A and B are shown apart, each in its own frame.
Chain A
Amino acid sequence: MGVKDYCFKKSLWVFHFGGASCNNCDIEILDCLTPRYDIERFGIQLVGSIKHADVLLVSGSINRKCRDRLLEVYHQAPKPIVVVAFGACGCSGGVFADGNPFNGPVDQIIPVDVYIPGCPPKPEAIIAGIAKLINKKAG
C-alpha cells in the first residue's frame, strides 16, 4: 500500500447527496459527528462541495428527477471517488421500490462500493460500514 492509498483512507471527506429522503438517514449521519461517536477521530469530515469529496454518500430513494442530478454530481466528482448507498432506500428502494416515480436503486445508476442498510442505519452500523470501506481500500 503506497502513501497515496494510506493518506486516502486516513482522510475521507464525505459529500452527502440527499435524494428524495425522509430526513431520518440525514439525521443519523449528523449523529456520527456528535461527541458520542465522533468520526472526526478517523479524519472523516463533511464537506460542502463535491469537488472536495472522496466519498459520495447517497441517501433516500432516487426518483426520476433525482437520477439526472445524481449522475451529474457523480461525473463532477474528482476521481478516485467512493460511493456509499445509505439506508434501505439507497440500497434497494425500501418501501418506495414499487412506487411510480421510483427510478432504480443507486447501484443501477452509478457503481456502488459500500452498502449500509437500515431504516435508518444506527450510527454503529455506519461506523461498521466505514471500517469495511477503509479495509477494502487497504486490501
Chain B
Amino acid sequence: MANYLFYFLIFPGFLFAAAGGGILSWFDRKITARVQFRKGPPFLQPFYDVLKLLGKETLVPRNSAKIPFLYAPVFALTGATLAAVFILLPSFGITSGFRGDLIVIYYFLTVPSISWIIGAMATGNPLAITGASREMKLILSYELAFLLILAAIIYKSGMTLNLADIIDYQKQNGALAGSLSGILLLIAFIFCIQAKLGLVPFDMAEAETEITAGMFIEYSGFSYALVKLTRYILLFILPSFLVVLFLGGFQWSGTGIVWSVLKLLAVVLVLTLIRNTNPRLKLGQAMRFFFVGMNLLVIAAFVLSLYGL
C-alpha cells in the first residue's frame, strides 16, 4: 500500500511528473523566445507561476454550478497523474505493468480534457462554454486517429496490449519508428499529442485572442494552479509516451541516460517548432485535418505494416 502511494504521489507520479513537466515547459518557452530572437524567461519560471497562483484568491462565479466547477481541476489532475504512473512505471522498468495497461492509459489520457469540459460548462460563462464545445469537437476528431495509431502499434509489436512488452519488443527488434509505416504513424502521433496538449495549431479551445482564455477563463488562484500543474504533467507524459512507443523507450544506465533525456527534449523541440511556425486553425479545418488527413495516413501506415514494411 505504502509503495503505491509513493508511486502515485512522489515517483514517478505527481511530484516527479510535475517537476519534469515544469522543466519542459520552461524549455518550450525558452525555445519559443529564441525562435523570436528574444531572451526568454528564467529557468524556474513555471514553478514561480504555480507557487504564485497557489497564494492567490480563488474566485467562484455567482452563476456557476459550484461543485463541478471546483472539482473538475482535481479530477483532471488525478487523471493526468494516474496516466503518468501507468506510463512511467513500465518505461523506467520499475514494474512491468499488467495486461491491457495500454487501454487504461488511453482512458486516463482523455480524463483531463473531459474534466475541463465539465468544469467549463459549469461556469455559466458564454466564452467558457464556447471553448468547451470546441474542445469537445477537437476530442471527437483526434481520438479516432489516436486509437488507430495505438492499434497499429499493437499489431506491429506482435499483438501485445502491455506497454512493457512493447518496450521489450523494441529492445530486440529495433525502434518502431525504424520502418516506413512507423514513420507515418510517428507523424500522425505528433499531431495527435499537439492537439491533446492544446498547442498552437489546435489551441482553439483556449484561443487567447478571440475567446480570451476559453475553458479556463473563470479559473483563478488555487484551481488555476491545478490546471497549470495538469498541463505540465501532460507536457511531460505525452512526449514520454511517444518515446516509449516509437523511439525505443528510456535506458537508465551509462550514456543511456543522456540519450533518454535527448530523445525527450527532441520530441518537445518538434512540438515547440510546430507551435511557433503555424497559425491557429479554425475548428472545421482541424476536424478535416484529423478526420481525412490523419486517419487516411494512419490507415495507409496500417496497410503498410500488414505487408511488413
Contact = CB atoms under 8 A, between A and B. Distances in A.
A11 B49 contact: yes
A3 interface: yes
Contacts of B213: 47-49, 52
Contacts of A47: 208, 213
Q: Which of B49, B56, B213 has the most CB of A within 10 A?
A: B56
Contacts of B37: 35
B41 A43 contact: yes
A89 B23 CA distance: 41
B219 A40 contact: no
Interface residues of B, number: 31
Nearest to B206: A48
Contacts of B208: 47-48
B212 A48 contact: yes
Q: Which of A3, A11, A80 has the most CB of B within 10 A?
A: A11
A79 B66 CA distance: 20
Given A7-B48, A43-B49, A80-B56, A52 B220 contact: yes
B51 A51 contact: no
A59 B93 CA distance: 56
A76 to B, nearest CB: 7
B212 A49 contact: yes
B52 A8 contact: yes
Interface residues of A, number: 21
Interface string B1-40: 0000000000000000000000000000100010011111
A43 B55 CA distance: 17
Nearest to B209: A48
A11 B47 CA distance: 9
B31 to A, nearest CB: 13
Contacts of A38: 33, 38-40
A88 B154 CA distance: 65
A41 B55 contact: no
B218 interface: yes
B224 A40 contact: no
A114 B190 CA distance: 45
Interface string B179-192: 00000000000000
Interface string B201-216: 0000000110011001
A48 B210 CA distance: 9
Please list the 6 inter-chain residue pairs (A to B) with the smallest Cβ-Cβ separation, ordered nearest first. Answer: A48-B212, A51-B220, A78-B57, A4-B55, A7-B51, A7-B52
Given A49-B216, A52-B224, 19 more contacts: A7-B48, A10-B45, A38-B38, A38-B39, A40-B41, A41-B40, A41-B41, A41-B42, A47-B213, A48-B208, A51-B59, A51-B219, A51-B224, A76-B59, A78-B57, A78-B59, A78-B220, A78-B221, A79-B57
